[in-house]
Structure 1
């Protein structure tokens, strides 16, 4: 077992690639010399880890974080240490995959009740009366 606990939503290490980047932020002058930020890349389109339906939902969920080739990039640079940023990136990836793995419930369309339709139409009539009353007074009155 590696330095990270295994999670059923975390892809195998072979499907992940990491790049370390300069981050800025807290850490004094030392921060300009150490690459503590992490760019975690996961090829969603070419992955054997996910089923096709989960891949589709993950691509939709990822938004701007996924490129045209289907590679998801997660940047983690909020912590001072590389180890914590790596853990953060993996945790965010597993959260995203977990969300995508849940199949959304199918909405069963319902019809408004008779009372709801009556109330809606009455509210529209009332609103119309209010708007008509806003006009210039009738000179014949």
Structure 2
């Protein structure tokens, strides 16, 4: 089980891992060993995800979500399968954890108070007086 938070955990049977050849560091070894990990997780058909989390996860996944609702993560940062597997699973957990957070409540519009409007206008007036005094001294002709 992959623990997401206190109330949510995903069974590892829902995740499919496939090992492919990676680009990047590894020298000649990169052409022989399949170290990159392609993680697949079916978001739409997952029995453990609640519907609101599923919807937010689909939105967060963006292009990584296929038309069939499968989330695909490719991990190839490291030179070993084990580290790439752990990296892909960590990224999946972090993505689901972010989707599990409820969105913040919408902002309520407020109007400025009369006192705050007066303070703003008074400060503008004071500033205008300061700036008016910065001109060239105007001598009487």
Given the alignment of the two structures, is residue 73 of structure 1 paired with residue 68 of structure 2, yes or no? no
Number of residue pairs aligned between Structure 1 and Structure 2 = 117
Q: Unaligned regions of 5+ residues in structure 2, if any?
A: 125-141
| Unaligned residue ranges in structure 1 (runs of 5+) | 1-5, 124-141
Give 1:80-95 correspondences, 5 Å limit: 80-95=79-94
For residue 3 of structure 2, what is the aligned residue in structure 1? 8
Aligned counterparts of 1:7 and 1:46: Cα–Cα separation in 2: 17
Corresponding residue of 2:16:
17
The Cα offsets for residues 78-105 of structure 1, whole Å up to 9 and x where unpaired, read as 0000000000000000000000111112
Structure 1 residue 118: Cα displacement: 9.1
- 2:10 partner SS: coil
Q: Tell me which residue corresponds to 1:52.
A: 51
Quote the offset at 1:27 in angstroms.
Answer: 1.2
Corresponding residue of 1:130: none
Highest Rg: 1 or 2? 2
Counterpart of 1:132 in structure 2 is none
**Are residues 86 and 116 of structure 1, via their aligned partners in 2, closer, same or farther at CA, if it must alter by over 3 Å?**
farther
Question: Which deviates the most, 74-83 or 104-113?
Answer: 104-113
Could you tell me whether the CA contact under 8 Å between 2:25 and 2:79 is conserved in 1? yes
CA RMSD of aligned residues (A): 2.2
TM-score, reference length from structure 1: 0.75
